[in-house]
Amino acid sequence: MNKKLGATARHDAESKRAASLATPTDLGPRATEDIGGAMNAILADVFALYVKTKNFHWHMSGPHFRDYHLLLDEQADQIFAMADPIAERVRKLGGRTLTSVGHISRTQRVLDNDADYVEPSDMLAELRDDNTNLVSRLRAVHDTCDEHRDVATASLIENWIDETERRAWFLFEAGGHPDASGH
């Protein structure tokens, strides 16, 4: 009998917590689930990209150290600035956000780089590719927002796409690229 009471009390506590987090929205439960899930995946990618960018910032070396070090620090700040608005948008829609580093790790699609040494040109190329992939993912979430008529989230995403494209462009230009002759 005590087990039954304990299970009931636990269920009541969980129901109360869920009700206290239920944010009213006119978008409906499917929109909350679709957009919230997609934005949580973006949030995990943003955290992973932030840590990777800071990792490369801290471990930069070579003749362009100062320029690359400052570039990556600026980009990391910009990436980190996305996190809170993403999480708050999920909450405004009535969803739950990521809750832990483990949750981020299970959700992220940006690959970690734990190598002891990475060439500066490889750092820039990897971050360029990660930012380019993030743009594609943001566009896909924008489509989901359009399906559910969530113009507020779509509007935020449009700005993040522009910022992320700019980061990818800077990384492309800073990393150099071969001309038509391959040099």
Predicted pLDDT of residue 23: 78
Judge whether 12 lies within some domain.
Answer: no
Judge whether 1 lies within some domain.
Answer: no
Judge whether 67 lies within some domain.
Answer: yes
% of the chain residues with pLDDT over 70: 85
For the stretch 107-133, pLDDT in tens is: 999 999 999 999 999 999 999 999 999
CA angle 145, 150, 154 (to 5 degrees): 60
Judge whether 149 lies within some domain.
Answer: yes
Predicted pLDDT of residue 118: 96
SS3 156: helix
Judge whether 125 lies within some domain.
Answer: yes
Judge whether 182 lies within some domain.
Answer: no
For the stretch 45-88, pLDDT in tens is: 999 999 999 999 999 999 999 999 999 999 999 999 999 999 99
Identify which of 172, 153, 158, 17 has the alpha carbon closest to the alpha carbon of residue 96: 17
pTM: 0.85
| Whole-angstrom distance, CA of residue 41 vs CA of residue 84 | 14
* CATH number for 71: 1.20.1260.10
The residue range of the domain holding 81 is 30-109+117-174
Distance from chain centroid for Cα 137: 10
Judge whether 51 lies within some domain.
Answer: yes
Predicted pLDDT of residue 181: 46
Judge whether 5 lies within some domain.
Answer: no
Query: How many domains are there within the chain?
Result: 1
Token pair for 146 = 């359009």
Least confident of 24-33, 77-86, 160-169: 24-33
pLDDT at 20 over 60: no
DSSP state of 60: -
Strands (E), 4-45: none
Decide if 41 contacts 144 (C-beta within 8 A). Answer: no
